[in-house]
Amino acid sequence: MRLTALDEASERLGLKRGQGLAEARAMFPKIDVADEDEGADLALLEAVADWCDRYTPLVAFDGREGLFLDITGCAHLFGGEDALLKDILERLFHMGLDVRGAISSSPGLSWAACRFGRGGVIADEAIEEVLAPLPVNALRIDGITVASLCKLGLKRVGDLMPMPRAPLARRFGPYLLLRLDQATGVNEESISPRRPVAALSAERRLADPVQAEDHILQLTGQIAASLKPGLEARGVGGRVFELVLFRVDGRVFRISAGASQPLRDPKRIAALFTERLKAAHDDLDAGFGFELLRLNVLQDDIFKIAQDDFAGNGRGEISLTDFIDRVSARLGENCLQAAEMRQSHVPERAEIFAPAITARNARDKVEEALVFAPGSDRPLRLFRHPETIKAFAAAVPDGPPQRFRWRHVVHEVVRAEGPERISPEWWADTENALERDYFRLESEAGRRFWVFREGRYDGKMAPNWRIHGIFA
Kindly calculate the radius of gyration of the chain based on its CA atoms and give it in whole angstroms. 33
Same domain membership, residue 140 and residue 257: no
Same domain membership, residue 257 and residue 300: yes
Q: Cβ neighbours of residue 404 under 8 Å, at least 6 residues apart?
A: 389, 390, 391, 392, 410, 411, 413, 441, 451, 465, 467
| Nearest-angstrom CA–CA distance, 105 and 182 | 10
Contact between residue 248 and residue 287 where contact means Cβ atoms under 8 Å apart:
yes
Same domain membership, residue 207 and residue 176: no
Q: HEC profile for the chain? A: CECCCCCHHHHHHCCCCCCEHHHHHHHCCCCCCCCCCHHHHHHHHHHHHHHHCCCCCCEEECCCCCEEECCCCCHHHHCCHHHHHHHHHHHHHHCCCCCCCEECCCHHHHHHHHHHCCCEECCHHHHHHHHCCCEHHHHCCCHHHHHHHHHCCCCEHHHHCCCCHHHHHHHHCHHHHHHHHHHHCCCCCCCCCCCCCCCEEEEEEEEEEECCHHHHHHHHHHHHHHHHHHHHHHCEEEEEEEEEEEECCCCEEEEEEEEEEEECCHHHHHHHHHHHHHHCCCCCCCCCCEEEEEEEEEEEEECCCCCCCCCCCCCCCHHHHHHHHHHHHHHCCCCCEEEEECCCCCHHHCEEEEECCCCCCCCCHHHHCCCCCCCCCCCCEEEEEEEEEEEECCCCCCCCCCEEEECCEEEEEEEEEEEEEECCCCCCCCCCCCCEEEEEEEECCCCEEEEEEECCCCCCCCCEEEEEEECC
**Has residue 193 been placed in a domain?**
no
User: How far from 99 is each of 87, 161, 164, 293, 403, CA to CA, in Å?
Assistant: 12, 29, 37, 25, 82
Domain count for the chain: 5
**Has residue 11 been placed in a domain?**
yes
Please give the residue range of the domain that contains residue 390: 381-470
**Has residue 376 been placed in a domain?**
no
Same domain membership, residue 343 and residue 321: no
Same domain membership, residue 221 and residue 119: no
User: CATH number of the domain that 263 lies in?
Assistant: 3.30.1490.100
Same domain membership, residue 361 and residue 391: no
Check residue 363 and give its pLDDT: 43
Same domain membership, residue 178 and residue 56: yes
Same domain membership, residue 326 and residue 343: no
Contact between residue 42 and residue 23 where contact means Cβ atoms under 8 Å apart:
no
Check residue 199 and give its pLDDT: 86
**Has residue 192 been placed in a domain?**
no
How does 159-195 read in b/e, with b if 16+ C-beta sit within 10 Å? ebeeeeeeebeeebeeebbbbbbbbbbeeebeeebeb
**Has residue 414 been placed in a domain?**
yes
**Has residue 142 been placed in a domain?**
yes
Displacement of CA 465 from its chain's centroid (Å): 44
Phi-psi region of 283 (alpha: psi -120 to 50; beta: other; left: phi over 0): alpha
Same domain membership, residue 171 and residue 213: no
**Has residue 80 been placed in a domain?**
yes
pLDDT (tens, 9 = 90+) of the chain, 472 residues, equals: 899 888 888 888 888 888 899 998 899 888 888 888 888 989 999 999 999 999 998 999 998 889 999 999 889 989 999 999 999 999 999 998 889 999 999 999 999 999 999 889 999 999 999 999 999 999 999 989 999 999 999 999 999 999 999 999 999 999 999 999 999 989 988 889 998 888 899 999 998 999 888 899 999 999 999 999 999 999 999 988 999 999 998 899 999 888 878 889 898 888 888 878 877 766 788 888 999 999 999 988 888 776 555 555 555 555 777 777 777 777 777 788 877 777 778 888 877 777 877 765 544 444 554 555 666 788 888 898 899 999 998 888 889 999 999 999 999 999 999 899 988 887 776 666 788 999 999 999 999 999 999 888 876 677 899 999 999 7
Check residue 258 and give its pLDDT: 85
Same domain membership, residue 236 and residue 145: no
Check residue 368 and give its pLDDT: 52
**Has residue 195 been placed in a domain?**
no
Same domain membership, residue 244 and residue 121: no
> Of 304, 331, 358, which residue constitutes the final position of a domain?
331
Same domain membership, residue 75 and residue 132: yes
